[in-house]
């Protein structure tokens, strides 16, 4: 069995606010074609969460999942209709988990979604249920606490929990919590108060009254142990709305709007819903406001409600097109999100609850056809009409399409803007809202609204200018600028520039007011003006930061400068990263600390190069501190600034900031740039101080590091120019020009310095002696006595007294250095004796060598018969052979081949040449003999098995791949 919807009964929209952009009607009524046969009429129906429940007059219940309508559960009540009566009402909770069935004879049954067997509710036996308020938390395992309204005016609280035990009741408890004296309880609704778990709101309706309860509920030890609503009904006094005239004919019912999926409220977090109460006078409807303060909640709900009278419903037409004068009765009603749907004598009438306009009036039922009523699925926002034989679905398409117009007519502009969907709609709302606010004198609010509209720019701007509302004009321009596209370059630049002009004028006006203490308006004092000044300044700064790409630098500089706004001028330059401008500004005004503050934040090396000269002249210490924190500076480009600083300053070298920075580059950044090193040498050499310790320390550090990153010729010329003798001598020495070094030192009478150079241990002894002679000559020429010269002689181990005698004057008496001459002669005599001894030892050694040679001529070796060559393994006596003292013997050819393999390339080549020469007879006579002796000497110089030639065989295996390896097997 299955059913499907047909496309018949398309109803045209009769909305007086029809949106021309929407082609489809708002409401479309479709008959659902049943694909299964029924043996009896429908007597009740409910829809919730896309689950359809149909009750037949035979007592059968059909449960259909609309997502898969082919699957239908066919459920029978435990007893026949003749015993319990015909099904009267179905009550299905919003989650479609719980179903309560009532019959005409007062029998009540409960059916869970996972069960196919309805269970009798024994405690509710005999209670004619008219309405049920399901638990607002929508539980699925049990109903938890629900309220049941009866036809006798009683309200019961019941907790139903399904059980598989046969003897256990479904109701955990049942308690009467309230009773009305105005007939049956036709409707009851419960909802939660957000933020307070202990608060509830209960709305109860009877044919003549609407009662609103709100307050705290009771709590017990554990869930389901007892009533929680008793406290609410006992302690709270309801707010009552009563109608004066009650007709017996019309049906009274309570409806609540569906759950909102796409919420368009101004407060998106608001879960407020609407209600509608059908009475004999019409439909009372309004918002179910929510508040944690429940004392005034009921009064607010009732006060804000409106009555849609029955007279506002259209009359039906009789035969012949005549309109009936008598008002048709309303037999059923439901609420959609924005409309009240009523069943009026076979017609569906939809009325917009915001402005009471009729958007649908369509005949659906045939004459004489009875309807079970309208049903709303408040979870899925679907709406249904049931008759005893047919099902109709009321399809809603874009129900909120006209809400923005209604809100706009009622001057609820914020809400209208929320519901406007297209750009044209939003523009219409913005324009109308702006005009309304201007008329009310609310210019600032109008400016924000106009900024989002397409109302002509000139017209809006002139309106604010004529009214003298510069603040509103500023807000309008800012809003308009925020809506312009990035591609509208000229428009954005013009608006942004105009805004800067307005900001400057506003800031000047506020400062003038504060400075002159002019008379202020009653609503403003000096402190407020100061606060407003700070606010406008921050607003300007935010504006510049956000729209800096839309501001032309040159133009903005001119505008701000014309107003004399220094702070704003510098802020703008900083925001657009024009630090050259900022630095130039402060430098021109000789505001050095401000200049340094800007420079601290920079990383562009060009800025440092540009302003280093002037800043080094005035704030050298701070500037060098900043430059030392920069990792991307080229020190060579800073040299002009450093030299200029050095020329104008007269501070000790320890305090010289140029020296400090250059040493930092050399020591920390390991600079090898010759220009940097030469600059440092120039500053050291040219300094007025006579102390050249710092220069010498630098030069020595370069030597110790085995570096010379400076230009030695340049440094030498500079040091000679400024008479830095020690440094010059060091440079000469580093260039290995020791003679020039000693000569320069002696020229300036620096004997000790010359002695240090002459005494270097790495120089050639002959050169050392030459240098010492030059020093000695200087010492002897300067000495006042022979004793001084003799003392100097003792410092050097290369000079003798005879070397110094030519330097003494002719009249010097030999007795003055007699001891030195005697010591020298004794030394000569000792050395002669040592030489004689060495000669005797050499002669003795030569005699021993001759004896050994003669003995070698008589040495021999015994070769046994059958002895074999150690290379080829063949008998040794088969050819020429060599025998070594180690008793190893080899064929001449085998030994020669082996020596060629092990010897070097040159020796091997020579052996091969000699072999060819001997074998082919190239040489004859003495030449041949000489070749043979040379070949024998090369081949037989050493044994290839036990001499150093054997060491080369250390990495060769004992057996090659061709050898028989089994001899090594164990």
Question: For residue 386, is it within any domain?
Answer: no
Residue 694 confidence (pLDDT): 84
What was the pLDDT predicted at 12?
32
pLDDT at position 271, please?
65
DSSP category for residue 900: H
pLDDT: which is higher, 19 or 241: 241
pLDDT of residue 243: 87
Q: Which are the contacts of 737, defined by CB distance < 8 A and separation ≥ 6? A: none
The Cα 481–Cα 478 span in angstroms is: 5
Which of 546, 576, 606 is at the close of a domain? 576
Residue 892 belongs to a domain: yes
Under a CB-based contact definition with an 8 Å cutoff, are residues 256 and 378 in contact? yes
Strand partners, 4: 33
Q: What is the mean pLDDT of residues 676-688?
A: 86
The mean predicted confidence, pLDDT, of the chain is 81
Between 901 and 494, residue with greater pLDDT? 494
Mean pLDDT of 311-337: 74
Share of the chain above pLDDT 70, in %: 83
Predicted confidence band of residue 898 (pLDDT cuts 50, 70, 90) = confident
The last residue of a domain, from among 518, 546, 576: 576
Residue 13 has pLDDT above 50, yes or no: no
Q: DSSP per residue over 252-300, as a string?
A: -EEEEPPPPSS---SSTT---EEEEEE-SSEEEEEEE---S-TTTHHHH
Task: State how many domains the chain has.
Answer: 2
Secondary structure (3-state) at 386: strand
Please name the residue that has the structure tokens 């406007």. Answer: 420
Binned at pLDDT 50, 70 and 90, residue 766 comes out as low
Supply the pLDDT for residue 877: 82
Q: Does the residue 240 lie in any domain?
A: no
Mean pLDDT, residues 546-563: 89
The predicted pLDDT at position 1 comes to: 36
User: Does residue 263 have a pLDDT over 50?
Assistant: no
* Rounded CA separation 308/796 (Å): 131
Domain boundary pick from 523, 550, 576: 576
* pLDDT for the residue 203: 96
Higher per-residue pLDDT: 402 or 960:
402
In this predicted structure, what is the pLDDT of residue 119? 92
Q: Which range among 2-6, 100-104, 149-153, 948-952 shows the weakest confidence by mean pLDDT? A: 2-6
Flag whether pLDDT at 278 surpasses 50: yes
> Which pLDDT belongs to residue 166?
61
The share of the chain scoring above pLDDT 90, in percent, equals 23
Checking if the pLDDT of 759 tops 80, the result is no
pLDDT, average across residues 665-691: 85
Nearby residues of 590 by Cβ (< 8 Å), 6 or more positions away = 618
Residue with more model confidence, 966 or 9: 966
Contact 113, 162 (CB under 8 A): no
Q: Residue 488 burial by CB count (10 A; 0-12/13-18/19+): exposed, middle or buried? A: middle
pLDDT in tens, 711-747: 888 888 888 888 887 778 877 777 777 777 777 777 7
Domain membership flag for residue 456: no
Q: Tell me: the pLDDT tens digits for 172-199?
A: 889 999 999 888 999 999 999 888 888 9
Supply the pLDDT for residue 9. 34
Task: Name the E strands within 14-50.
Answer: 27-34, 42-48
pLDDT at 53 over 90: yes
pLDDT tens, residue by residue, 797-855: 555 555 555 555 555 555 555 666 666 567 667 777 788 888 888 888 888 888 877 77
pLDDT of amino acid 782:
64
- Asked whether residue 838 is domain-assigned, the answer is no
Compute the distance between CA of residue 896 and CA of residue 934 in angstroms, rounded to an integer.
12
Domain that holds residue 571: 487-501+532-576
pLDDT of residue 767: 66
Residue 882 resides in a domain = yes
Could you tell me if residue 458 is inside a domain?
A: no
pLDDT of residue 118: 92
Task: Calculate the dihedral angle through the C-alpha atoms of 157, 378, 101, 85, rounding to the nearest 10 degrees.
Answer: 120
Q: Which of 669, 670, 681 is nearest to 710 (CA)?
A: 681
The answer, yes or no, to whether residue 108 has pLDDT greater than 80, is yes
The residue whose two tokens read 């929209």 is 13
The pLDDT tens digits for 514-523 are: 777 655 444 4
Among the ranges given (471-485, 552-566, 851-865), the one the predictor scored with the smallest mean pLDDT: 851-865
The predicted-structure confidence for 491-514, as pLDDT tens digits, reads as follows 999 999 999 999 898 888 888 887
Within a domain: 261: no
What is the per-residue pLDDT for 327? Answer: 66
Does residue 125 register a pLDDT over 50? yes
Render pLDDT for 435-467 as a digit per residue (tens, 0 to 9).
777 888 888 888 888 888 888 888 888 888 888
Q: Say what the pLDDT of residue 801 is.
A: 55
H or E element in which residue 192 lies = strand 187-193
Q: Per-residue confidence at 533, pLDDT binned at 50, 70, 90? A: confident
Confidence band for 262, pLDDT divided at 50, 70 and 90: low
């Amino acid at each position: 069995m299955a059913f499907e919807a047909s496309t018949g009964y398309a109803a045209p929209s009769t909305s007086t606010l029809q949106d021309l952009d929407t082609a489809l009607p708002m409401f479309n009524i479709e008959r659902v074609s049943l694909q299964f046969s029924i043996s009896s009429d429908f007597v009740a129906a409910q829809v919730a969460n896309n689950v359809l429940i149909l009750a037949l007059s035979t007592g059968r219940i059909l449960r259909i999942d609309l997502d898969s309508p082919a699957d239908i559960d066919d459920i029978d009540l435990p007893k026949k209709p003749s015993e319990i009566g015909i099904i009267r009402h179905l009550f299905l909770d919003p989650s479609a988990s719980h179903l309560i069935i009532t019959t005409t004879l007062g029998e009540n049954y409960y059916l869970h979604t996972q069960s196919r067997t309805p269970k009798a509710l024994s405690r509710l036996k005999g209670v004619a249920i008219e309405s049920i308020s399901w638990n607002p938390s929508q539980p699925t395992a049990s109903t938890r606490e629900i309220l049941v309204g009866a036809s006798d005016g009683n309200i019961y609280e019941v907790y139903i929990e399904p059980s598989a035990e046969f003897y256990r009741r479904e109701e955990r408890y049942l308690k009467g919590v309230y009773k009305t004296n105005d007939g049956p309880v036709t409707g009851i609704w419960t909802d939660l108060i957000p933020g307070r778990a202990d608060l509830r709101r209960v709305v109860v309706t009877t044919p003549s009254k609407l009662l609103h309860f709100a307050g705290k509920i009771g709590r017990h030890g554990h869930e389901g142990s007892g009533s929680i609503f008793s406290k609410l009904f006992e302690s709270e006094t309801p707010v009552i709305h009563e109608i004066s005239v009650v007709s017996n004919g019309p049906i009274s019912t309570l409806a609540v709007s569906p759950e909102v999926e796409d919420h368009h409220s101004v407060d998106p977090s608001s879960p407020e819903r609407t209600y509608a109460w059908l009475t004999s006078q019409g439909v009372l409807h309004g918002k179910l406001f929510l508040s944690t303060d429940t004392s005034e909640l009921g009064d607010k709900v009732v006060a804000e409600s409106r009555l849609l009278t029955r007279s506002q419903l259209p009359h039906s037409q009789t035969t012949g097109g005549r309109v009936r004068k008598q008002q048709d009765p309303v037999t059923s009603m439901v609420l959609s999100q924005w409309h009240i749907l009523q069943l009026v004598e076979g017609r569906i009438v939809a009325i917009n609850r915001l402005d009471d306009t009729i958007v649908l009036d369509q005949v659906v039922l045939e004459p004489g056809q009875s309807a079970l009523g309208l049903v709303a699925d408040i979870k899925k926002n679907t709406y249904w009409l049931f008759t005893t034989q047919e099902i109709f679905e009321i399809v809603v398409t874009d129900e909120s399409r006209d809400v923005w117009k209604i809100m706009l007519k009622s001057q609820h502009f914020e809400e209208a803007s929320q519901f406007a969907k297209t750009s044209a709609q939003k523009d219409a709302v913005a324009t109308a809202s702006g005009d309304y606010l201007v008329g009310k004198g609310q210019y600032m609010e109008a400016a924000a609204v106009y900024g989002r509209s397409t109302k002509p720019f000139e017209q809006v701007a002139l309106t604010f200018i004529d009214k003298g509302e510069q603040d509103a004009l500023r807000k309008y321009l800012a809003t308009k600028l925020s809506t312009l596209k990035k591609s509208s370059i000229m428009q954005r630049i013009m608006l942004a520039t105009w805004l800067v002009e307005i900001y400057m004028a506003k800031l000047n006006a506020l400062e003038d007011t504060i400075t002159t203490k002019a008379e202020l308006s009653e609503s403003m004092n000096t402190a407020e003006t100061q606060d407003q000044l700070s606010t406008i300044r921050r607003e300007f700064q935010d504006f510049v930061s956000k729209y800096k790409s839309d501001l032309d630098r040159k133009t903005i500089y001119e505008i701000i400068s014309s107003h004399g706004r220094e702070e704003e001028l510098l802020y703008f330059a900083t925001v657009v990263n024009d630090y050259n401008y900022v630095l130039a500004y402060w430098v021109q005004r000789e505001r050095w600390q401000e200049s340094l503050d800007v420079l601290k934040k920079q990383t562009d090396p060009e800025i440092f190069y540009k302003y280093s000269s002037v800043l080094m002249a005035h704030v050298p210490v701070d500037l060098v501190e900043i430059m030392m924190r920069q990792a991307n500076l080229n020190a060579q480009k800073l040299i002009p600034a450093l030299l200029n600083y050095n020329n104008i300053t007269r501070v000790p070298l320890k305090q010289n900031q140029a020296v400090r920075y250059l040493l930092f580059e050399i020591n920390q950044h390991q600079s090898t740039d010759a220009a940097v090193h030469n600059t440092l040498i120039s500053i050291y050499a040219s300094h007025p101080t006579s102390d050249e310790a710092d220069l010498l320390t630098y030069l020595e550090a370069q030597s110790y590091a085995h570096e010379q990153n400076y230009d030695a010729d340049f440094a030498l010329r500079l040091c000679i120019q400024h008479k830095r003798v020690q440094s010059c001598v060091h440079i000469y020495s580093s260039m290995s020009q020791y003679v020039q070094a000693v000569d320069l030192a002696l020229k300036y009478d620096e004997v000790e310095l010359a002695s240090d150079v002459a005494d270097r241990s790495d120089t050639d002894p002959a050169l050392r002696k030459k240098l010492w002679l030059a020093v000695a000559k200087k010492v002897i020429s300067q000495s006042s006595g022979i004793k001084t010269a003799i003392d100097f002689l003792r410092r050097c181990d290369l000079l003798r007294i005879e070397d110094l005698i030519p330097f003494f004057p002719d009249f010097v008496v030999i007795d003055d250095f007699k001891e030195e001459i005697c010591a020298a002669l004794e030394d000569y005599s000792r050395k002669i004796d040592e030489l004689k001894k060495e000669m005797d030892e050499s002669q003795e050694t030569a005699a021993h060598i001759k004896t050994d040679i003669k003995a070698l001529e008589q040495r021999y070796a015994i070769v046994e018969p059958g002895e074999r060559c150690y290379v080829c393994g063949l008998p040794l006596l088969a050819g020429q052979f060599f025998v070594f003292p180690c008793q190893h013997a080899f064929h001449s050819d085998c030994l020669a081949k082996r020596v060629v393999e092990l010897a070097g390339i040159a020796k091997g080549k020579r052996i091969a040449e000699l072999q060819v020469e001997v074998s082919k007879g190239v040489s004859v006579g003495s030449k041949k003999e000489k070749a043979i002796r040379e070949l024998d000497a090369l081949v037989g110089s050493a044994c290839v098995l036990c001499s150093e030639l054997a060491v080369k065989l250390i990495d060769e295996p004992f057996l090659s791949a061709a050898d028989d390896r089994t001899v090594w097997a164990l």
